Structure 1
């Protein structure tokens, strides 16, 4: 695949990553804005020195994740919501109304799977938009600071997203012979 021919899923991944980079990095956002306006991007404007960023926690030791649970979840989303069928479909030829109708079915099925197999609750109980103060030693894995992050805690800001936390996982048990990589069996009608 060439740079000028990025797949649909590749474009979704790029869009989501770029979205969060723009939110978290003002300089990157300015470069994207210059690129969209047609201005040259190679020469960044000279700016005042950036304030000292807040210290970042030490990188945690990485552990190897087993793909079986992720594959099982994909299988459940496919079974109950036709998630993979929807994402893999080229929707360019469909009307917005058709896509919206399909998305409603996929959304309902995904929601059913999440509620059946996970207990999910917000990380923060306050309403979005509320002012919150994070004390020194706050859990940086549960709360991500965005915007102009300088100095050290306590930090006071506006809660833009409450976050999500999984309290319980209830995935079905699998037989030892089960091939988790087959997330949806092929169907042959006789």
Structure 2
């Protein structure tokens, strides 16, 4: 139906809707007042202007991890701690004492690799169990909230794990043709 030929009920519906819209929107009320005063429509605020859409933040770009560095670390753990051998071994047939003895050797080797190639520090310096307050804007990539997380910062809680962060990495340089996917070469005894 053309706008100039609205029925009585169409006009009544429009009037009621406009009445409540004017009560709830001061910009709309000012625009209608300008129209009734005879000002040109171009100067009036749009009668049913939609609210501006919130600007969505672009999704953060995902960085691809270097598989070569991961393979290099796995190779170092295998070389110095026999890490892959230990994890791939079916330990069900061994006694707990034998597993514990093997775990001690693997632990010592893994620790040596970490200390030689990485500088690792705690994320938080406080002792575990210490009470802390996390202010608004805390680094959520360095601190994970656990337990009954409700509301917003500041948060008050106890440190259950201090976390770890790497300050320095000292991986050896690789030859251009080195195949990092071979983390331990096969051995053939002659």
Structure 1: 5+ residue stretches without partners? 1-57
Residue 119 (str. 1) matches residue 119 (str. 2): yes
Name the residue aligned to 1:154: 154
Residue 182 (str. 1) matches residue 182 (str. 2): yes
Tell me the alpha carbon deviations over residues 31-85 of structure 1, each in whole angstroms, 9 at most, x when there is no partner.
Answer: xxxxxxxxxxxxxxxxxxxxxxxxxxx9642111120000000000000000000
Name the residue aligned to 2:130: 130
Name the residue aligned to 1:104: 104
Local SS of the residue matching 2:189: coil
Local SS of the residue matching 2:144: coil
Tell me the alpha carbon deviations over residues 131-155 of structure 1, each in whole angstroms, 9 at most, x when there is no partner.
Answer: 0000000000000000111111010
Number of residues of Structure 1 aligned to a counterpart in Structure 2: 133
Residue 163 (str. 1) matches residue 177 (str. 2): no
Structure with higher Rg: it is 2
1 or 2 for the larger relative contact order (CA 8 Å, sep ≥6)? 1
2: CA distance between counterparts of 1:59 and 1:128? 35
Structure 2: 5+ residue stretches without partners? 1-57
| 1:50-89 map, 5 Å | 60-89=60-89
2: CA distance between counterparts of 1:93 and 1:134? 48
Name the residue aligned to 1:94: 94
TM-score when normalising by structure 2: 0.69
Tell me the alpha carbon deviations over residues 96-147 of structure 1, each in whole angstroms, 9 at most, x when there is no partner.
Answer: 0000000000000000000000000000000000000000000000000001
Name the residue aligned to 2:41: none
Q: CA RMSD in A?
A: 1.1
TM-score when normalising by structure 1: 0.69
2: CA distance between counterparts of 1:104 and 1:129? 27
Runs of 4+ in 1 over 2 A off after TM superposition: 58-61
